[in-house]
Amino acid sequence: MSGWVLRLLGLLAASFVCIRRVEHNVYGLLRTRDMAIARYKEFSIPTQWMLDSGVVGQVLTLNPEPRYLSTV
């Protein structure tokens, strides 16, 4: 294999690792949100405003760290 193909494969592997980390973090956030909403409902705390006001979307907004971007 030529040098550029090996470099490309390395970049793809690094991108894949970064994407997997992001997916893992988003999954953790979703799980935390679902558990919190279940607890709020258990104590009769209204939760619909969180979904209506976009708070959930703001929490899930991704801001990738520069150290991950520099490796890709």
CB 67 within 8 A of CB 37: no
> What residues make up the domain containing 7?
3-71
Number of domains comprising the chain: 1
Give the pLDDT of residue 36: 83
Contact 17, 64 (CB under 8 A): no
Tell me, what's the pLDDT at 66? 61
* C-alpha–C-alpha distance, residues 19 and 55, integer Å: 24
Residue 63 · residue 40 · CB < 8 Å: no
Question: Which residue numbers in the chain have pLDDT < 50?
Answer: none
59-68 pLDDT, tens digit each = 555 565 665 5
